[in-house]
């Protein structure tokens, strides 16, 4: 039998049982659609996080005490502003060095309050982290030098504390101490479910006084050029180690952060795809089941075809194509559904989703393969049917 | 399919078929021997359960003997693989079943064309040949009807066209009129006989009806898986019309042997009214036929 003929016969058989074919396909459709959708969400999340990390500013170098490794306990920082000066000398430009000391705190304004992250920073932060203001101004060197009680609000905090007023010039209280709002950040949005606009920046000196400490948590450096960024990191770590022989320091680049995040999110995407793959497998079992029913139902047809000269292979191929057709049509429909849902999710929800060609190719390939794998047993059974027994079947 | 001269359509030598039922061997056919020559018209008779269908399945290559030699169209089925046997069925055999066995959702012309599908013949040529064959069975005006839109007689004629479309050497019909009323059955029967006479395709037909069996030139009686008798008798009945010239005017019966002369070499006396037609039975080779006579079909009603 010619292959084109076999395709036509298979298609006819599916048409003969439209409802059943559609229901069988549904399993495959759901499986493929969920693979496509979940991979799209995984990929979209990864892309967005990478964008955001890149948005932190290029050539960024983070210096923190302790080893930067998953599962290591945080170390109490021995760093002070004197160390920051030393790092500035190594870098050669104080404008490229930022610090942070951060703590959760409740910000109050009148009757309203908002729990947020308060960051003590230098005036260099907008340069190093590429931040911009929506309103007002940022901290100045003088603000830092004189521990002035001024604050720049993240967009969410500004909205929470001053929903119907201009926050500029207003007073807020942090841990009972009053600060004057001098600026509001441009919104950044969410990242991995974290609101990045939920923060308040105050001068690092004011923060240290507020919490009664001399330490800073970490230092960030915007390297002058990408090529020597690792070298610069080594020199900073060496200098800090010299000043604090008991503590280990690490310098991580943006590239390394991207790498670690990418790995984590890649694994996450893989896990999502695998879970979705299970539903595809279940769809495949459904195909196998229906094909066995189909073989049984059409036993007499098989017997007749054999009687007029169909070889076992002709019958086997006919049923195998039927299974492959079921899963391929289901696969294509599932792809369409998955892409559509992903686009919808991406536009109407905060969850990002990005379609990749490889996931489509994979989903379709797998669904066709599922047809072959789960069609082989019913097809072989059909091919091996004894024609005499088959013709006698009811 | 035209077989080379001298090659019998089917040759069975001591053919047996045993079934395994729950580990027990159940003999179905026991040592059947005979030869079907090309162009012959043979009726297979016997009581229900006598293994007539089992025999037909073997003759058509749908099943294989467990013992003995079965040669179909010059090929020993024991030497053939499953696909080779399928090809042999396709090229040499045409089946007509009691239950028609048409594909229900398929038009008459496509049903008839089905065997050609497995020859790798293109769609257009298939349809042309199927349509022409439907014309031969008088259904040229029913090409695109589905089986459900046809009468029983028409369905069986479609099935006959399907059996014939490959131009086989043998037409095997297992009670082809069993599902039809007598008038329709008679028409189908006449069609089969006409095709046998016109195209030289051998016709082996199972029937319960003694009158029908009597129309065949040769009758093989089966009982309990054995050939009880195998007799040739010539009568000027419709089945004989248009037979090879050598047969005409040879209304007497003659004995026959497995290796002996076929229908092309009649011998024996001439003349004889229908009532006087002789009827000789031949036991299967190496066996003794029991009860020759009594339950054999009567050759009668010729005049
Ligand atoms: N696959 C099988 N397994 C076991 N026994 C079988 C099988 N096929 C046929 N038989 C035996 O053959 C018998 C029927 O033989 P068959 O159908 O050839 O008879 P028949 O002469 O065609 O009967 P009928 O005139 O009723 O059609 C059954 O009683 C059964 O014992
Ligand atoms: Mg029968």
Tens of pLDDT along A230-252? 888 899 999 999 999 888 888 88
**How far, in Å, is the centroid of ligand 1 from the Cα of B283?**
22
Mean pLDDT, chain A, integer: 88
Residues A108 and A137 in one domain: yes
pLDDT band at B297 (very low <50, low <70, confident <90, very high): very low
Residue nearest to atom 15 of ligand 1 (CA): B51
Domain membership flag for residue A316: yes
Domain membership flag for residue A58: no
> What CATH number does residue B105 fall under?
3.40.50.300
Structural domain total, chain A: 2
Question: CA-to-CA distance for A324 and A201, rounded, in angstroms?
Answer: 61
pLDDT band at A53 (very low <50, low <70, confident <90, very high): confident
**How far, in Å, is the centroid of ligand 1 from the Cα of B56?**
11
Question: Which of the 8 DSSP states describes residue A187?
Answer: P
Question: CA-to-CA distance for B118 and B112, rounded, in angstroms?
Answer: 12
Across the interface, whether the CB atoms of A308 and B120 are under 8 A apart is answered no
Residues A94 and A242 in one domain: yes
Which token pair is A337?
Answer: 């559904």
* Best mutation target, A308, A311, A388, to test chain B (most B CBs within 10 A): A308
Q: B-chain residues within 8 Å CB-CB of A304? A: 101, 103, 114
Tens of pLDDT along B150-161? 999 999 999 999
Residues A94 and A231 in one domain: yes
Candidates B87, B101, B166; nearest CB to A391: B101
Residues A222 and A308 in one domain: no
Nearest CA-CA partner of A261 in A189, A192, A196, A187: A192
Indicate the SS3 state at residue B295.
coil
Which of A247, A274, A295 is a domain's end point? A247
Tens of pLDDT along A357-394? 888 888 888 888 888 988 999 999 999 999 999 998 87
Average the pLDDT over A30-40 and give the result: 90
Q: Residue A194's beta-bridge partner residues? A: A191
Domain membership flag for residue A200: yes
pLDDT band at B1 (very low <50, low <70, confident <90, very high): low
Domain membership flag for residue A335: yes
Question: Which of the 8 DSSP states describes residue B137?
Answer: T
Is pLDDT of B294 > 70? no
pLDDT band at B302 (very low <50, low <70, confident <90, very high): very low
Sign of torsion, CA B17 B1 B102 A1? Answer: positive
- Let me know: does B202 contact B35? Beta carbons within 8 Å: no
Which of A224, A247, A270 is a domain's end point? A247
Tokens 């947020």 belong to A116
Q: A133 lies in which domain range?
A: 76-247
Domain membership flag for residue A150: yes
Domain membership flag for residue A253: no
Domain membership flag for residue B209: yes
Instruction: Compute how many other C-beta atoms are within 10 angstroms of the C-beta atom of residue B253.
Output: 23
What lies within 8 Å, CB to CB, of B154 at 6+ separation is B139, B142, B145
> Of all residues in chain A, what percent carry a pLDDT higher than 70?
96
DSSP one-letter string for A213-279: --B-SEEEEE-S-STTHHHHHHHHHHHHHHH-TTS-EEEEEHHHHHHHHHHHHHHHHHHHHHHHHHH
pLDDT band at B284 (very low <50, low <70, confident <90, very high): very low
Residues A238 and A269 in one domain: no
Q: A-chain residues within 8 Å CB-CB of B118? A: 1, 305, 308-311, 314
Average the pLDDT over A152-160 and give the result: 93
Domain membership flag for residue B3: no
Residue nearest to atom 10 of ligand 1 (CA): B28
Atom of ligand 1 nearest to the CA of A388: 1
**How far, in Å, is the centroid of ligand 1 from the Cα of B159?**
23
Write down the pLDDT at residue B26.
92
Tens of pLDDT along B231-263? 987 654 444 443 343 333 333 444 444 443 444
Instruction: Compute how many other C-beta atoms are within 10 angstroms of the C-beta atom of residue B275.
Output: 10
- Let me know: does A315 contact A295? Beta carbons within 8 Å: no
Across the interface, whether the CB atoms of A5 and B117 are under 8 A apart is answered yes
Going by their DSSP bridges, the two strands A218-222 and A97-109 should be labelled as antiparallel
Which of A247, A282, A302 is a domain's end point? A247
Residues A195 and A89 in one domain: yes
Domain membership flag for residue B89: yes
**How far, in Å, is the centroid of ligand 1 from the Cα of B28?**
7
Across the interface, whether the CB atoms of B166 and A311 are under 8 A apart is answered no
Tens of pLDDT along B263-278? 444 443 343 333 333 3
Q: Count Cα atoms within 13 angstroms, Cβ side, for A194.
A: 9
Domain membership flag for residue A222: yes
Q: Which whole-number Å values give the CA distances from A52 to A156, A190, A196, in the listed order?
A: 18, 10, 10
Write down the pLDDT at residue A1.
64
Which of A17-21, A26-30, A70-74, B209-213 has the weakest average pLDDT?
A: A70-74
Q: B258 lies in which domain range?
A: 10-299
Structural domain total, chain B: 1
DSSP one-letter string for B168-183: -SEEEEESTTTTS-HH
Write down the pLDDT at residue A254.
79
Of B25, B27, B28, best ligand 1 pocket probe by most atoms within 8 Å of the beta carbon = B28
Residues A242 and A331 in one domain: no
Q: Residue B202's beta-bridge partner residues? A: B170
Tokens 């006989």 belong to B193
Domain membership flag for residue A126: yes
**How far, in Å, is the centroid of ligand 2 from the Cα of B174?**
7
- Let me know: does A180 contact A171? Beta carbons within 8 Å: yes
Residues A144 and A237 in one domain: yes
Candidates B62, B91, B120; nearest CB to A387: B62
Residue nearest to atom 26 of ligand 1 (CA): B48
pTM, entire model: 0.71
Domain membership flag for residue B212: yes
Using a CB–CB cut-off of 8 Å, the residues of A that contact B are: 1-2, 5, 12, 16, 300-301, 303-314, 386-388, 391
Of B23, B27, B49, B208, best ligand 1 pocket probe by most atoms within 8 Å of the beta carbon = B49
- Let me know: does B236 contact B270? Beta carbons within 8 Å: no
Q: Residue B221's beta-bridge partner residues? A: B45, B229
Residues A303 and A376 in one domain: yes
Helices (DSSP H) in B40-93: which residue ranges? 52-59, 82-92
Domain membership flag for residue B5: no
Nearest CA-CA partner of B41 in B9, B16, B17, B65: B9
Residues A220 and A363 in one domain: no
Going by their DSSP bridges, the two strands B170-174 and A60-65 should be labelled as unpaired
A112 φ/ψ sector (left φ>0, alpha ψ -120 to 50, else beta): beta
Tens of pLDDT along A105-143? 999 998 899 999 999 999 999 888 888 899 999 999 999
What lies within 8 Å, CB to CB, of A264 at 6+ separation is none
């Amino acid at each position: 039998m010619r292959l084109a003929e076999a395709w036509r016969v298979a298609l006819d058989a599916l048409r003969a049982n439209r409802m059943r074919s559609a229901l069988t396909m549904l399993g495959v459709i759901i499986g493929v659609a969920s693979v496509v959708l979940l991979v799209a969400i995984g990929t979209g999340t990864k892309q967005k996080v990478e964008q955001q990390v890149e948005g932190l500013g290029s050539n960024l170098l983070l210096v923190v005490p302790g080893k930067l490794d998953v599962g290591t306990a945080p170390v109490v920082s021995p760093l002070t502003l004197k160390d920051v000066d030393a790092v500035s000398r190594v870098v050669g430009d104080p404008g490229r060095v930022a610090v942070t000391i951060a703590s959760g705190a409740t910000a109050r304004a009148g009757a309203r309050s908002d729990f947020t992250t308060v960051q003590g920073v230098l005036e260099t932060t907008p340069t190093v982290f590429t931040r911009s203001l929506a309103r007002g101004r940022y901290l100045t060197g003088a603000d830092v030098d004189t521990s002035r009680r001024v604050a720049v609000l993240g967009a969410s905090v500004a909205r929470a504390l001053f929903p119907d007023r201009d926050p500029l010039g207003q007073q807020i209280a942090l841990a009972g101490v009053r600060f004057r709002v001098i600026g509001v950040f441009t919104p950044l949005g969410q990242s991995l479910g974290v609101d990045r606009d939920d923060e308040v920046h105050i001068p690092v000196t004011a923060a240290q006084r507020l919490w009664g400490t001399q330490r800073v948590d970490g230092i960030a450096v915007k390297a002058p050029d990408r090529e020597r960024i690792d070298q610069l990191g080594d020199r900073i770590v060496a200098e800090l180690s010299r000043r604090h022989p008991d503590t280990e320091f690490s310098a991580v680049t943006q590239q390394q952060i991207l790498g670690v995040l990418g790995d984590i999110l890649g694994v996450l995407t893989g896990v999502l795809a695998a879970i979705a793959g299970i539903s595809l497998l279940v769809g495949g079992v459904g195909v196998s089941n229906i094909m066995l029913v189909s073989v049984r139902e059409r036993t007499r047809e098989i017997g007749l075809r054999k009687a007029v000269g169909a070889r076992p292979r002709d019958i086997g191929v006919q049923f195998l194509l039927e299974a492959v057709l079921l899963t391929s049509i289901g696969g294509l429909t599932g792809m369409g559904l998955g892409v559509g849902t992903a686009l919808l999710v991406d536009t109407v929800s905060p969850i990002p989703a990005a379609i990749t060609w490889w996931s489509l190719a994979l989903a379709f390939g797998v669904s066709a393969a599922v047809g072959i794998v789960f069609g082989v047993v019913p097809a072989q059974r059909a091919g091996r049917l004894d024609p005499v027994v088959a013709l006698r079947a009811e | 399919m035209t077989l080379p001269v001298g090659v019998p359509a089917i040759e069975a030598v001591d053919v047996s078929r045993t079934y395994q039922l729950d580990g027990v061997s159940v003999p179905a056919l026991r040592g059947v021997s005979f030869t079907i020559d090309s162009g012959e018209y043979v009726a297979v008779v016997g009581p229900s359960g006598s293994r007539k269908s089992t025999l037909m399945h073997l003759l058509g290559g749908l099943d294989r003997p467990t013992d003995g030699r079965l040669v179909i169209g010059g090929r020993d089925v024991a030497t053939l693989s499953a696909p080779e046997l399928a090809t042999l069925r396709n090229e040499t055999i045409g089946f007509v079943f009691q239950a028609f066995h048409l594909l229900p959702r398929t038009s008459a012309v496509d049903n008839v064309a089905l065997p050609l599908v497995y020859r790798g013949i293109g769609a257009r040529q298939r349809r042309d040949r199927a349509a022409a064959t439907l014309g031969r069975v008088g259904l040229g005006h029913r090409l695109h009807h589905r089986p459900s839109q046809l009468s029983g007689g028409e369905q069986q004629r479609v099935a006959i066209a399907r059996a014939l479309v490959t131009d086989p050497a043998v037409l095997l019909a297992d009670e082809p009129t069993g599902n039809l009323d007598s008038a329709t059955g008679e028409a189908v029967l006449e069609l089969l006989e006409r095709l046998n006479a016109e195209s030289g395709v051998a016709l082996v037909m199972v029937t319960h009806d003694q009158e029908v069996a009597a129309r065949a030139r040769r009758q093989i009686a089966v009982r309990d898986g054995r050939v009880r008798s195998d007799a040739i008798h010539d009568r000027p009945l419709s089945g004989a019309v248009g037979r090879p010239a050598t047969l005409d005017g040879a209304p007497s019966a003659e004995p026959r042997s497995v290796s002996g002369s076929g229908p092309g070499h009649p011998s024996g006396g001439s003349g004889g009214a229908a009532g006087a037609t002789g009827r000789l039975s031949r036991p299967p080779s190496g066996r003794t036929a029991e009860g020759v006579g009594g339950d054999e079909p009567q050759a009668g009603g010729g005049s």
